Structure 1
Amino acid sequence: MKVYLCTLNYTTVKIGTIDFGKEPLFLAPMEDVTNKVFRQLCKSYGADLVYTEFVSADALIREIDKTIKKIDIGEDERPIGIQLYGKDIDTMVEAARIAEEVNPDLIDINFGCPVKKIATKGAGAGLLRDIPKMIAITQAVVKAVNKPVTVKTRLGWDESSKNIIEIAERLQDVGIQALTIHGRTRAQMYSGEADWTLIGKVKNNPRISIPIIGNGDVTDPLKAKYFFNNFGVDALMIGRGAIGRPWIFREIKHFLNTGELLPDLSIPEHVELIRDFVHKSIDWLGERRGILHSRRHLAITFKGLDNFRPIKIKMLQAENIQELEAVFNEIKVRWNN
């Protein structure tokens, strides 16, 4: 890993009037992952801020049922942000006003999603190729709502256009109250190593006064401590590292506070956690959709068990809760020794 030396900032982190304390951990917004059930689970393990799945501004305005369900938030999830994406100024403004009516704690704008169907149509990371429009959208949303507005983006479109320092300054100038930076370009997607050097340079830019949240490869307590200590970021955002491992927030917090690594969950504890998650997903979405929504977590949650592949396939092919329960019981019997 590259090392970027900086002056550490031990003050508490504030976004708007929300005080997150020192070294807070945020759950990244992820499509088909950060639904209500998973957000609640991550909160129970210590996530300081959670986000909805990213929400299409167009779909929100058209009142698409699936999109409306994405902004179904509860008091036990606070503080929580609703993340919006879109390419049209007026549409983003209208969507932000609709989102504000649900009373989130903040509204986040997605300028970082690299997925082809979004970025190539000029939304998400696609706006890294049109910085004036990115700034115009942000400024209009900031003026339209009373909630704090934050932004999540990447280092740039590709290796030849890593312009995040300029972007950060301009976004701050139009009124955002925090900036999350994923340490990859859009061209990288999720490949390679995240470049935290540029994230550190943004944080230590004397022109920057808003909180800078680092994102990318936060997958264990040791990396979390390294990123805080070497790049001076105000907070860390955890995305893929939380899929199938919502207890990562507890692990990192414990290590930051004590210097000790917590032992791994036992197999029975692990099974009961994922079983509870599946049942709550079914209660919220119905059996079929609840199981489908759980599969991304099921695919990775028991990663590392020896000779697990045949059981993993059986688990992912389960069509109802009875079949899943049988697999869970088999896991407890075969690997609890």
Structure 2
Amino acid sequence: MVAVTTAGSTSAGSTSVGSAPAGARGREADVRGSGLASSNAKRTLALVIALVVLAGTVALSIFVGARAISPEVVWESVFGSRATEEHVMVLELRIPRTIVGLVVGPALGLCGALIQAFTRNPLADPGILGVNAGASFVVTLAVGIFGFTAPGQYVWFALIGAFLATMLVYAMGSVGGGTATPLTLTLAGVAISAVLGGFTSAIVLKNIDALNVTRFWGVGSIGGRSMEVVLTCLPLIVLGVLIALYCARSLNALSLGDELAASLGVRIRSTRILVVIAVTLLAGTAVAIAGPIGFVGLMVPHVVRWFVGPDQRWIIVMSIVMSPILLLAADILGRIVLPSGELRVGLVTAIIGAPVLIGLVRRKKVSGL
């Protein structure tokens, strides 16, 4: 899984052919041959197909909704027409929620891929580090105690909560003077999530305003979100994506084990800190914008690994493309599945995700890391 460079130098997360141990070179060959797409040419083709599917899903998200609108009207709306109520619906409802899906989807899928690589658990979930629980708890505090009920107000509290929860988990995972490991961070994340979840429930049960906000925001939805909030949070997601891309090779080396990764020149502690920062930015911002949406970060990286193998460089790129496909498809399904009204996307992903997850787990050959 270690990236092999043509030069003789070794940097963090990469190594040269001459310096790589024989076992690492053998594992590298295994990685390149694993997955349904066993060559870079096939993986590139899969990426191109995924981009085409994403473009089609975006078009469907704009053209399909709970209310039937003719393609001609939708097309006119795309070019800015506001002549009728239907034009306004497309411009102010469908297009913004599609943009939210394109922003939130990659963040959810990518932070899931990072968590699974970081914990070496192919079925790990982004909430495993307590990010979702921290964001939900601080949003509940903001609404129930400080009275902030507008999304533009409590979005920043969600980011703060995600950051504080992640730092607390990392501190607990490092208790005793040792280095935080995937196991200690996972245990700390589960414990923090349980505690914060209990406090959140207690506040919600005592405060009607907090109940009303969390009842809708807590389910997860990409509809009705302000473009101002999305544009404000977008740089944080971009930063998280850049950090993830930077860490991809190091994560490949870490999958071989800490000792071998260190011998290959990987700065293990720095890599783990960067991954935690990236997960905080991606998951925290996604939760802040759309609320906690489950199963996207769990399913997409797992399925992607099945196709492209365990090379984190391909997993990261494919997750960025595949995640908004799943999120937008679930949102489209939620709009049309009921005769009146719609299902929020967080409910749809949960309904779809449960049987898919069972199927993935029951496969004879689960995609490994």
TM range (shorter): under 0.3
**Structure number with higher strand proportion:** 1
| TM-score normalised by the chain length of structure 1 | 0.25
Looking at secondary structure, tell me which structure has more helix per residue. 2
CA radius of gyration, larger in: 2
More RCO (CA 8 Å, sep 6+): 2
Normalising by the residue count of structure 2, what TM-score does the alignment of the two structures yield?
Answer: 0.23
